[in-house]
């Protein structure tokens, strides 16, 4: 991961946030984190990811109803 990246792959986002790969994939499937698809590659904008973390501070990310969608 480069410091200047605007968007992160699932692996980079997991490393950056400490959220597991599977949890990130589930959050994306629930449409809680907006993504950009380039072919098979999934990218998450860094600012969206940071906003998501702020909005969900203290929430259980494995419970769909307690997770707030980042816009």
- Whole-model pTM: value is 0.89
What pLDDT tens digit does each residue of the chain (71 aa) get?
A: 555 789 999 999 999 999 999 999 999 999 999 999 999 999 999 999 999 999 999 999 999 999 999 98
Which of the listed CATH numbers 3.30.70, 3.90.105, 3.40.190, 3.30.360 matches domain 7-66? Answer: 3.90.105
Give yes or no for a contact between 70 and 34, defined as CB atoms under 8 angstroms apart: yes
Position 51 scores a pLDDT of 97
Which residue matches tokens 């990310």? 61
Position 5 scores a pLDDT of 85
Domain boundaries, the chain: 7-66
The widest CA-to-CA distance across the chain, in whole angstroms, is 34
Q: What single string gives the DSSP state of each residue in the chain?
A: --TT-SEE-HHHHHHHH---HHHHHHHHHTTSS--EEETTEEEEEHHHHHHHHHHTTTS-TT-GGGPPPP-
Position 4 scores a pLDDT of 75
């Amino acid at each position: 991961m480069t410091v200047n990246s605007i968007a992160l792959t699932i692996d980079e986002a997991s490393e950056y946030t400490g959220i597991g790969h599977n949890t990130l994939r589930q959050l994306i499937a629930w449409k809680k984190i907006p993504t950009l698809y380039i072919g098979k590659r999934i990218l998450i904008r860094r600012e969206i990811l940071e906003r998501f973390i702020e909005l969900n501070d203290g929430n259980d990310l494995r419970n769909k109803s307690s997770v707030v969608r980042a816009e």
